[in-house]
Structure 1
Amino acid sequence: MPASGSVSVQSLDQFLAEVEGRAFQIARIATGCDQDALDIVQESMISLVTSYSDKCESNWKPLFYRILQNRITDFHRRKTLTGKIFAWIGLKKADEEDIDLLEQIADPNADMPELALSKDRFSDALIHALEQLPARQQQTFLLRIWEGLSVKETAEAMQCGEGSVKTHLSRATQTLRAHLEPHYFSGDHHES
């Protein structure tokens, strides 16, 4: 039994299980690579457990997503530095082929193939559009919309002001709308 004020291992395990899939999707979109995304999520979870498991459970979500965003930022910094080093010495890194392993979500409309196909196409278009967003807009959209964090929690996770969160979300939403409207309203989703 945990001592008074300490956190039960079971509640920490449950929290990590709840955020694991969505955290992987966020990292996958940000990195474009399944293996890098898995590494980032695992490092984030380890960091939360080793450094913050004694914090109040209500703080875990913003803390975890702050750690995740910091790991993603570190990944991009390392990637940029590596690219500069290779460019400086005249070498070019070969791109590795990635296989998209986004988690499959149980679909209550699975017996309606046209609807499932339409959702798959829209989901693919959304993922592609998210990958094109600037990093801060992407982070804001994923934390606010996908994860449902409040403006305050998102600001804490991203280490910025609440006004910045609102601005980034507004710009991300406008950009995504512009990218998705032509695809969504092209008539492709009405195939029979």
Structure 2
Amino acid sequence: MDEASHESFEDFVTASADRLMRTAFLLTGNRHAAEDLLQGALERTYQRWGRERIIAPEAYVRRVLVNAASSRWRSRQFREEPLDAAAERAGADGMPDLAMRDQVLRALRELPKRQRAVVVLRYFDDLPEAAVAEILGCSVGSVKTHASRALARLRGSQHLGDVRVRIERRR
């Protein structure tokens, strides 16, 4: 890879790393797994960066993240873990946010992998349905169906009871 391509890749990572890390975290529910997932996705992207033109690099990395997360979910070795012990030791000021985050992550874990991917890309990453469909390699109608079913499951989730009440009060 030439120096200009290397620098453009570094600029891309610097500009999008936080957003991509959030996506990876929401897909995995675990910071360490998210870091591993994102690292692998960025490595794969780097290998292609100099050889071919990637038109929408952030969308490409998101697709790699979703595919890698799906492979991880299928793996027999995969085991979901609770929030990091360090996060659970947070001070009293951080507890309401930590508790809400934990409720959301638990509810997301209840969703089938495809529905979770749609919810993360559509609502947390705020991507349009067409972009989600392209990333997941499906139709816009399929994205709408998965989103509708996921939202219905989330509405009925036991884990989101307190979060729903807080959201309703904010309106």
* Alpha carbons of structure 1 residues 10 and 150: separation in structure 2 relative to 1, 3 Å: farther
| Separation of aligned partners in 1, 2:28 and 2:95 | 26
Determine which of 53, 56, 61 is the counterpart of 1:55: 53
CA separation in 2, counterparts of 1:43 and 1:102?
Answer: 25
Q: 1:100 aligns with which of 84, 87, 94?
A: 84
Rate the CA distance shift 1:129–1:181 in 2: closer, same or farther, 3 A.
closer
Assess if the C-alpha contact under 8 Å between 1:34 and 1:98 holds in 2: no
Identify the range of structure 1 (24-33 vs 124-133) with the bigger mean alpha-carbon deviation. Answer: 24-33
Structure 1 118/39 Cα, relative in aligned 2: closer, same or farther at 3 Å?
closer
The answer for the alignment partner of 2:32 in structure 1 is 35
The one of 11, 36, 55 equivalent to 1:14 is 11
Q: Which residue of 2 aligns with 1:73?
A: 70
In terms of mean alpha carbon deviation, does 123-132 or 10-19 score higher?
10-19
Deviation at 1:140, TM superposition (A): 0.5
Q: Residue 137 of structure 1 aligns with which residue? A: 115
**Pair 155,35 (structure 1): closer, same or farther in 2 beyond 3 Å:** same
8 A Cα contact 2:133 2:143, kept in partner: yes
Match of 2:98 in 1: 120
Match of 2:127 in 1: 149
Q: Distance in 1 between matches of 2:7 and 2:120?
A: 27
The normalised TM-score by structure 1 is: 0.66
Aligned length: 160
TM-score (norm 2): 0.72
| Percent sequence identity over aligned pairs | 26
Q: Distance in 2 between matches of 1:184 and 1:72?
A: 26
After TM superposition, list the pairs within 5 Å mapping 1:165-184 onto structure 2: 165-179=143-157, 182-184=161-163
* 2:84 aligned counterpart, secondary structure: coil
- Letter of the structure 2 residue corresponding to residue 151 of structure 1: E
Equivalent residue of 1:160, what SS? coil
Distance 1:28 1:184, change over 3 A: closer
Q: Which has the higher helix share?
A: 2
Q: In the alignment, residue 76 of structure 1 is paired with which amino acid?
A: W
Taking the aligned partners of 2:156 and 2:14, their CA distance within structure 1 comes to 34
- The one-letter code sitting in structure 2 at the alignment partner of 1:148 is D
Counterpart-to-counterpart distance in 1, 2:116 and 2:86: 17
Give unmatched runs, 5+ long, in structure 2. Answer: 88-92
Pick the structure with greater CA Rg. Answer: 1
Pick closer, same or farther for the CA change 1:173–1:50 going to 2, 3 Å.
same
Tell me how far 1:99 sits from its aligned partner. 5.3
Q: Deviations over 1:29-60 (max 9, x none)?
A: 44454433322211100111211454255x11
Q: Distance in 1 between matches of 2:165 and 2:44?
A: 45
